């Protein structure tokens, strides 16, 4: 327990910022999906750090992380299927050209 | 002291690999960097004495999600035009906003008075997680399993060829 809690939180903030930058700025939809995975991992680090430092006897923090794992797996599977489906109809996975809802 | 040096080493390596994920031009390299980030986060879980989550991270993220993403990259090779850059038009705005966000949240975290309790982590944590899933947290557990089933069926429906 020599590492302060805020170090973990700042690390998670940096990981979240990098993932969010990837989501906002990449053109390829697969790269956007990877940015989302980075953000989910940052949230998991935060949850486990808060569990260990603030409520080590109550394991609800760890149990919440397992649910985040579940949602991440579902999101990756549905995201890949969406990309294949979009490529079939639009012939691209460039997120700048998938703008049918804008017009 | 040893713990601090270990933490800084793991954190710096993991953040450098996360930077590689967002700047790598080759998507396959980005996926390999992503596996490195997952592994670094798993070692941080071990530092935080959450061994079950470290194992689950390696099995689920590296074993399943990273494999799925590599499949997606191989299936989508050639879907992007080669002449396009990797970033869209708003990337400098996104970068500035994220640097601002990181600075603001880090400043708040340094200012924030947390009160850590110095209790030991329970030795039978894995047993408590298991009994929690069939006891107090049984409804969210069932909802999560339904979510996985819906995602499975939905992914098959979306990716299916429509021949009719």
Give B116's contacts in chain A (Cβ within 8 Å): 1, 5, 53-54
Domain boundaries of chain A, sorted by first residue:
5-90
Query: How close does chain A come to B77, measured CA to CA in Å?
Result: 10
Residues 10-49 of A with CB under 8 A from B: 10-11, 13-15, 17-22, 24-31, 33-35, 37-38, 41, 44-45, 48-49
* pLDDT per position as a tens digit, B93-151: 989 999 999 999 999 998 888 888 877 888 888 899 999 999 999 999 999 999 999 99
Helix and strand counts by DSSP (H, E) for chain B: 7, 0
> What's the pLDDT score for residue A93?
77
CA angle B85–B90–A102, rounded 5-degree value:
100
Q: Which tokens belong to B102?
A: 């990181």
Whether A11 has a pLDDT exceeding 80, the answer reads yes
So what's the pLDDT on residue B83? 53
pLDDT of B35 strictly over 90: yes
Q: Which residues pair with A26 in a beta bridge?
A: B87
How many angstroms separate the CA atoms of A9 and A3, rounded? 11
Residue-level pLDDT at B161? 75
- Is A5-90 CATH 1.10.287.3510? yes
DSSP code at position A100? T
pLDDT mean across residues, chain A: 88
Place of tokens 């996926």: B31
Q: B78: left (phi > 0), else alpha (psi -120 to 50), else beta? A: left
Q: Is the pLDDT of residue B55 over 90?
A: yes
**A43, closest residue in chain B (CA to CA):** B41
**Spatial separation of the C-alpha atoms in residues B132 and B109, rounded to whole Å:** 31
Write out pLDDT tens, residues B59-92. 999 998 999 888 888 877 765 555 566 777 788 8
Whether the CB of A9 is below 8 Å from some CB of chain B: the reply is yes
A94 by DSSP, 3-state: which?
Answer: strand
pLDDT tens-digit readout, A32-77: 999 999 999 999 999 999 999 998 888 888 999 999 999 999 999 9
The complex scores an ipTM of: 0.91
Q: Which residue has the higher pLDDT, B37 or A80?
A: B37
A98: left (phi over 0), alpha (psi -120 to 50) or beta: beta
Q: A-B interface: how many C-beta pairs under 8 angstroms?
A: 244
3-state secondary structure of B50: coil
Check B11 against A35: CB less than 8 A apart.
Answer: no
What does the pLDDT read at residue A59?
Answer: 87
Q: CB neighbours of A92 closer than 8 A, spacing ≥ 6? A: A86, A98, B79, B80, B81
Instruction: Answer yes or no: is pLDDT of B24 > 90.
Output: no
Instruction: Give the whole-angstrom CA distance, residue B143 versus residue A94.
Output: 33
């Amino acid at each position: 327990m020599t590492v302060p809690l805020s170090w973990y939180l700042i690390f998670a903030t940096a990981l979240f910022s990098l993932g969010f930058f990837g989501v906002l700025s990449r053109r390829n939809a697969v790269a956007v999906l990877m940015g989302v995975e980075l953000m989910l991992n940052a949230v998991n680090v935060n949850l486990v750090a808060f569990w260990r430092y603030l409520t080590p006897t109550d394991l609800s923090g760890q149990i919440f992380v397992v649910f985040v794992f579940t949602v991440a797996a579902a999101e990756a599977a549905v995201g890949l299927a969406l990309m294949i489906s979009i490529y079939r109809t639009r012939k691209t996975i460039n997120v700048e050209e998938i703008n049918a809802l804008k017009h | 002291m040893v713990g601090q040096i270990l933490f800084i080493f793991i954190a710096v390596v993991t953040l450098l690999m996360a930077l590689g994920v967002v700047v790598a031009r080759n998507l396959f390299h980005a996926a390999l960097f992503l596996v490195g980030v997952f592994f670094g986060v798993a070692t941080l879980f071990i530092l935080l004495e959450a061994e079950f989550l470290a194992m689950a991270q390696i099995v689920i993220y590296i074993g399943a999600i990273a494999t799925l993403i590599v499949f997606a990259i191989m299936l989508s090779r050639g879907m992007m035009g080669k002449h396009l850059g990797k970033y869209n038009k708003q990337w400098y705005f996104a970068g500035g906003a994220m640097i601002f966000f990181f600075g603001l949240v880090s400043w708040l975290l340094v200012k924030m008075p947390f009160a850590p309790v110095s209790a030991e982590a329970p030795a039978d944590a894995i047993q408590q997680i298991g009994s929690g899933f069939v006891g107090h947290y049984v409804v969210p557990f069932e909802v999560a399993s339904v979510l996985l089933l819906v995602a499975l069926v939905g992914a098959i429906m979306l990716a299916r060829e429509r021949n009719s």
